[in-house]
Structure 1
């Protein structure tokens, strides 16, 4: 498994597994613009939740879109300290090919926006290096 980020000594990292979708259309990548930066659609898995259920929930919350979860791609780990906070996470990023079934549903996270950009631009702006790697590898 690939690992991104540096483990800082004396930092307590909170383990946070998540499921993320790689959205593509017409040569572009769908990413979510959030207050902290750009991310693949998806997020942290809730207790007793499957990867697929997590991605479907996150698609609705972040973009108001119903997603169809496809092929498993890869799992990577990343150690990250969130900018402007003292929160440190050991993120387990599990990625799947994902398609949009429909949009226009109620969006809970109104400060998130699904946008489309070319592969090179998406790689450049991703907040998590592990997610940039997944775009570079699978798009």
Structure 2
């Protein structure tokens, strides 16, 4: 189901200037193509720019002229791996490199990955246990 459906003939017309699409939250996006906009009329093959995706989400904009849609193709979700390089504590930050201890590395960048922190919403291996009290 698209986020926006324009059904009038040539109802989606781009008139000069930048047209930027922003994905505000990765929510339940997995890997694969997701329809952002459907339209009727002439093919749209350019005119939109995809702003930076939510943290640790990798993808690109796709002009689907056969399906008359503008899609996003999610190709990877960067995972984090425990390194324990700073200490043995697992404490959470509020965003990428915002609070928390930099005891993690991004899987896509290994070996020699830059350290990062953990933040809520990251899927972790079951053998990782939090060190500190958590609050809801």
TM-score normalised per structure 2 = 0.27
Larger relative helix fraction:
1
The structure with the largest alpha-carbon Rg is: 2
Say which structure, 1 or 2, has more relative contact order (CA 8 Å, 6+ apart). 1
